[in-house]
Amino acid sequence: MRQEGVFSHVRRSMRMTAGQQRVWDTNWPELGRKLEELDGDVDLSQWFGREAPVVLEIGSGMGDATAQLARTAPEVNHLAAEVYPAGLGQLMLWVEKHELENVRLLHGDALDLLRDHLTPESLAGVRIYFPDPWPKKRHHKRRLVTPAFVELVASRLQPGGTLHLATDWQHYAERMLEICSAEPTLANQYDDWAPRPPWRPVTKFEARAHAEGRSCRDLIFTKS
Q: Which residues are catalytic?
A: 132
Residue 106's beta-bridge partner residues?
Answer: 33, 81
Rounded alpha-carbon distances, angstroms, from residue 171 to 25, 89, 134, 174, 222? 41, 33, 10, 5, 22
CA angle 148, 130, 21 (to 5 degrees): 105
Measured distance CA(153)–CA(121) in Å, rounded: 9
Those residues with Cβ within 8 angstroms of residue 98's Cβ, 6 or more apart along the chain or in another chain: 67, 70, 71
The answer to whether 70 touches 92, Cβ cutoff 8 Å, is: no
Residue 188's beta-bridge partner residues?
Answer: 221
